[in-house]
A = this chain, B = another copy of it.
Amino acid sequence: MRLYTRTGDKGQTALIGGKARKDDVRVEAYGSIDEINSFTGLAIAYLDPDVFEDIIQDLVKIQHELFDCGTELSNVSKKERPYELTEDIVTYLEERMDSLIEEAPELERFILPGGSQAASALHVARTVTRRAERQMVTLYHEAEEINPIPLKYINRLSDYFFAAARVVNARLEVADVEYERSARVFRGSHKKNK
């Protein structure tokens, strides 16, 4: 097998059912999803499977769903999709977050992104996800009729990474450090827990 095809050497590339310049906002969007995917892989590589089986499972599921979203965005064919991208990938993230949030210490103020190596990698994935989201917003405004699920999913995903980073530090007994000059920014936090 030869991996490289040399076809893109002048800046054009193939979509599913079309062609575009590599700096097209669509390519930017699914290229950034590929970047999130790689940082997710890096975060997994930092996690001890004995302690974080549940989170690793989430992250592998997420890697697949990032491919699903990427396929959706790289597809400009008008034909019906032979698969369905459904809301339940969003709902699943929400359920997981509700449960992870219970495990980490209560939160009122911003925390410094960091702590353990694994949590730091998750914070990096969180901010890369938010960067991808910004580019997707440009795509959704410029192009017509894009399935809304990938954008929702990516919005939820950065919150998931935040929740997961906190749990990782909690299990490793690394305390999250509060931003000293933070206002009380997280609402509803007084309503629950201890």
Bits for A34-75, please: 1 = Cβ < 8 Å to B, else 0: 110111111011100000000000001001100110000000
Q: How far is the CA of A187 from the CA of B2 in the complex (A)?
A: 8
- Specify how many copies of this chain sit in the oligomer: 3
Question: Could you give, for residues 114-142 of chain A, a 1 whenever the CB lies within 8 Å of some chain B CB and a 0 otherwise?
Answer: 11110111011011101101110110110
Binding site for B on A (CB under 8 A): 1-4, 6, 8-11, 21-23, 27-28, 31-32, 34-35, 37-42, 44-46, 60, 63-64, 67-68, 83, 94, 97-98, 101, 106-107, 110, 112-117, 119-121, 123-124, 126-128, 130-131, 133-135, 137-138, 140-141, 148, 151-152, 155-156, 159, 162-163, 177, 179-182, 186-189, 191-193
Nearest first, the 7 A-B pairs at minimum CB distance are: A41-B114, A35-B127, A42-B120, A11-B137, A38-B123, A38-B113, A23-B137
Tell me the complex Cα distance, A115–B41, Å. 7
How long is the Cα–Cα vector from A16 to B32 in the complex, in angstroms?
A: 27
Interface pair A188/B42, CB less than 8 Å apart? no
Nearest chain-B residue to A159 (Cβ)? B4
- Chain B residues with CB under 8 Å of A28's CB are 134
Q: Which residue of B lies closest to A33 (CB)?
A: B127
CB neighbours of A126 from chain B (8 A): 38
- A134-B23, A141-B11 known; A156+B4 contact, CB < 8 A: yes
Give the CA-CA distance A136 to B38 in the complex, in Å.
21
A68 touches B181 (CB 8 A): yes
Instruction: Find the residue from A41, A133, A155 having the highest chain B CB count within 10 A.
Output: A41
Q: Is the CB of B34 within 8 A of A130?
A: yes
B3, B131, B177, B188: the one within 8 Å of A1 (CB): B188
